[in-house]
Chains A and B, each alone.
Chain A
Amino acid sequence: MTTTPTQDAQPKTRGQRFTGAAANYIDERTSISGLVKEVGRKIFPDHWSFMLGEVALYSFIVILLSGTFLTFFFEASMVEVHYEGSYAPLKGIEMSAAMASTLDISFDIRGGLLMRQIHHWAALLFVASIGLHMLRVYFTGAFRKPREINWFIGFVLFVLAMAEGFTGYSLPDDLLSGNGLRIIDGMVKGIPVIGTWISYLLFGGEFPGVDIVSRLYILHIMLLPAIIIAAIGIHMLLLVINKHTQFAGPGRTNDNVVGSPVMPGFAAKAGGFFFIIFGVITLIASTFSINPVWVYGPYDPSPVSAGTQPDWYIGFADGALRLVPPGWETEWFGFTWSFNIIAPLVILGLFIAIVAFYPFIEAWVTGDKREHHIADRPRNAPTRTAIGAAGVTFYAVLWAAASSDLIATHFKLSIEGVIHSCQALLIFGPIIAYFITKRVCLGLQKKDREIALHGYESGRIVRLPHGEYIEVHEQLDDYELWKLVSYEDYKPLMVRPDAQGRITIGQRLRASVSRWFFEDRIAPVSQKEIEQSKDEHH
């Protein structure tokens, strides 16, 4: 511990002496000061979009707290009971103990319904904020070296969050969750050769069996949360090690981070932010109903309600199933090949794999081995932004397709029309989005370049002595100019022979992908150009 001489000169109060002694005691036994020093000086830049990951973290904490409450009363068993609680329309009805205990939580345990609704709303917010956080990281290029691995861990967290959500959705054993499980069962059985075996293993016999709720419960409250907490730990450790990215600005370079340190400012702010998130979730949970299992009733394999959908984050998979054209099924080698299930599985698998490995793909294309700590403005990476827009469109169409029936009834359309439009959009939408986004990015870059070189239009019209009218262009100040001109410029890679004088196929492929990425580009304004234009204007 280092103290300044001025502090030494003043007599310490009893509190200060106690704090010092206690800190010393702990440090001598744990050497924690190194960690505090490292973590406490972690700098957080101030930008709203950098707080989205925090939203995910805090909603996860809310989920843990409310979930713990629910475990006290939930009975993860499919033993048949007759409901005798206070909800009249289910009195005397046969159901599983899981469903009955969920109803008890909702109607007969003080605060139970609020906790259930907090848990469920927080779960929806958790996955949504992860999604938005990933989009932020993607579109600002914050996944580049050295953060590729952290992107991957974040991606794993996203998948785990979806798995947590789905297992939780299935636990109450109500009609909706049973229908959801039936779809999963169908998808598993659609996998050739091994599907049926996996399904019987998962459900402990023919669907629905009497085991699935207790099995999912263990996954939901033990295994998945443990992995999520571990992954969050690594994610945040890497966040400290890699440091934050920041947007370019005067004084903000690739070698520093400008913002407020964790101790004390940011920690206080973050603590407050946690309670704001908790408050927003509680406000929503206390005013808006979610998953009213008493309306759905206990699971019974025969009824399926109209408008049966999974929670939003599984919607894209449901949409993929709905968009398969009819009749995609055949028999080969004595096995049924259900391409109506295999095709969505493969397509979604590919889509997810591209998301997971995109940083590595882009690193290979650019051949860039440098570290990047400055977040890109999306327009300054037109091809990446366009790919992102195409991916978002693809996902959004699948997502919309999952609610095709509700779109049909609420917009007075025929459901076939909605499905066919979604099928067409699934293929053409991403292509259109790609080209539009790329052109918009290039256009914005051109505009930035124009403003950097010739100033912005001031709206002031001046008449010159010889009668000509001109609009006066004002130069940007240095702070604004910095934002417009400081970005990385990539050129398409050249094909070069390696040490043996050969040009490999990999290199050719890379060169062509690199050309696709960087052929259309607007070079950033150079210092020389700025000076030249100043001379012209003076």
Chain B
Amino acid sequence: MATKAARASRRSQPVGRRHPLATVALLLVGLLGTGGAYALFTSSATAETSASAEALVEEGGKLFAANCATCHGLDLEGTTQAPTLIGVGAAATDFQVGTGRMPLAISGPQAEQKPVQFTEEQIQALAVYVASQGPGPAIPADMYLTGEGYDVSNGAELFRINCAMCHNVAGAGGALTEGKFAPALADVTAKHAYEAMLTGPQNMPVFNDTNLTPEEKADIITYLKYLDETPSVGGFTLGSLGPVSEGLFIWIFGLGAIVAITVWLTAKSN
């Protein structure tokens, strides 16, 4: 009985799309197809960087379709997962992708920085593509990003008034609600700092050009650069966190050292 049944099943083995190996073949075709397409898209991105604006838009469109459209929609219209990108402009795209925040690594309270996923050229193509789909703030001109020739003390004052409540007065970062936070500002590039002010990424408010003029933004960038480049005059800063790290330091290392000394001084008689 058993052998008969086995023979019967062997005889009636399905062919064509019902063949047991059909799934494997299908998977292989699918993987090769998407992988090949991806390779095509990415390789074409590096190949045509010097191309005209139209080619750049087309290039960016392909990159967008491959990397961003899942959440933001094929026409930038947005989905339940992510907002529309129509009108966010080149600056927002350059900031989000250029700092590695996009593509999003994981859903969470806010997009966190991670190693940047694209080359400069690819980021530019994406930015140009997004800007082509609806006008928005453009990538800032280089003249505002030098950190030289601007008013550092005005920048410092503007920073204290507009930025310090979230980013901390020394740019050390700070907590927001529900696990969100304002990141530390050390070593943020001038371009990204400008774009952040201009577009208000994550929970940051927008500081448009009537709110803070381009010159004032440049002043702030000059101050940030000053903070980055000037060594602390007082010695190690303990993270620039103010009295909390100072208090911990004096209890653990200051008093700790002194208690160790007292133990040492009285050790003999014990």
**A and B interact:** yes
- B250 and A125 contact, CB distance less than 8 A: yes
**Selected interface stretch from A218-226, A285-293, A468-476:** A285-293
**A286-B177 in contact (CB<8A):** no
> How many B residues, CB 8 Å from partner?
58
Known A-B contacts A175-B169, A287-B236; the reply to A409 vs B175 at CB < 8 A is yes
- List residues of chain A with CB within 8 A of the CB of B270: 46-47
Q: Which of these, A88, A132, A281, A417, contacts B152 with CB under 8 Å?
A: A88
CA distance A537 to B164 in the complex (A): 74
Q: Is the CB of A408 within 8 A of B164?
A: no
**A297 with B160: in contact, given A48-B266, A176-B242, A408-B179 (CB under 8 Å)?**
yes
Which A-chain residue is minimally distant from B169 (CB atoms)? Answer: A305
What residue of chain A has the Cβ atom nearest to residue B253's Cβ?
A284
Beta-carbon nearest neighbor of A295 in chain B: B170
| A310 CB within 8 Å of chain B | yes
A-side binding surface: helix, strand, loop or mixed? helix
Task: Please measure, in the bound complex, the distance between the C-alpha atom of A307 and the C-alpha atom of B105, giving whole angstroms.
Answer: 28
CB distance from A494 to the nearest CB of B (A): 41
Most chain A CB within 10 A, of B166, B175, B179, B223, is at: B175
The residues in A between 273 and 320 inclusive whose CB is less than 8 angstroms from any CB of B are: 273, 276-277, 280-281, 284, 286-292, 294-297, 300, 302-313, 315
Task: Check: A227 CB closer than 8 A to any chain B CB.
Answer: no
**Taking A47-B266, A306-B164 as contacts, is the C-beta distance between A125 and B254 under 8 angstroms?**
yes
Interface presence of B26 (CB below 8 A): no
The answer to whether B175 and A408 touch across the interface, beta carbons within 8 angstroms, is: yes
A302 CB → nearest B CB, Å: 6
Interface members, chain B 145-190 (any A CB < 8 Å): 152-153, 155-157, 160-161, 164-170, 172-179, 181-182
How many Å lie between the Cα of A303 and that of B263 in the bound state? Answer: 46
Number of interface residues of A (CB under 8 A): 70
Chain B: which residue is nearest A52 at the CB level? B262
Complex contact B255–A132 (CB within 8 A)? yes
Write the nearest CB–CB distance from A325 to chain B, whole angstroms.
16
Instruction: Check B258–A280 contact: CB distance below 8 A.
Output: yes
Known: A88-B153, A89-B223. A403 touches B244 (CB 8 A): yes
Which chain A residues numbered 42 to 89 have a C-beta less than 8 Å away from chain B?
Answer: 46-49, 51-52, 55, 88-89
For B235-270 the 0/1 string (1 means CB < 8 A from A) is 111101111101111110111011101110110011
> Could you tell me the distance between the alpha carbons of A269 and B257 in the complex, rounded to whole angstroms?
18
A-B contact pairs, 16 of them (CB 8 A): A48-B262, A48-B266, A88-B152, A106-B234, A113-B234, A132-B255, A175-B160, A288-B249, A289-B238, A292-B170, A297-B157, A306-B173, A309-B242, A312-B251, A409-B175, A414-B109
User: Which residues of A approach B to under 8 Å, CB–CB?
Assistant: 46-49, 51-52, 55, 88-93, 106-107, 113, 117, 121, 124-125, 128-129, 132, 175-176, 269, 273, 276-277, 280-281, 284, 286-292, 294-297, 300, 302-313, 315, 402-406, 408-409, 412-417
* For the complex of A and B, 6 pairs with smallest distance between CB atoms: A306-B174, A312-B247, A289-B234, A414-B179, A305-B169, A405-B175
